[in-house]
Amino acid sequence: MSCCEDPRTSCEDVLAEVWLFLDNECDQERRAALRKHLDECNSCLEHYGIEEHLKELLHRKCGGEHAPAELHERLRSSIRENVLRQAEVTFEDGPDGASVEVRSRSSSSTE
């Protein structure tokens, strides 16, 4: 499924990266591309809205209690790794800076 002219922002890619978008964990260029897609795609915008409400609910219900910093960082890292793996995103941090590669999963792949 894709409703956008930009092949880097297919519906599959946007939905795989919605939590990165919600948590402000993507660079400004990618954030702008995701925002543009969400503005143009009602289906993805609806899914984004559900995820946004879930995040707000979790914050409201769990916001008063603070987990230890190590647990917070382990959970954030685990969620990030799972999201990146689902979107087939590779991240490398090298001496020349960080690089990110996003590959679309083909709809015919079976896992």
Does the pLDDT of residue 22 top 80, yes or no?
A: yes
Does the pLDDT of residue 12 top 70, yes or no?
A: yes
Name the one residue in this structure whose structure tokens are 């402000």: 24
Mean pLDDT of the chain: 76
User: What single string gives the DSSP state of each residue in 37-49?
Assistant: HHHH-HHHHHHHH
pTM of the entire structure?
0.49
Instruction: Convert the pLDDT of each residue in 27-76 to its tens digit.
Output: 899 889 888 888 888 888 888 888 888 788 777 777 666 778 888 888 88
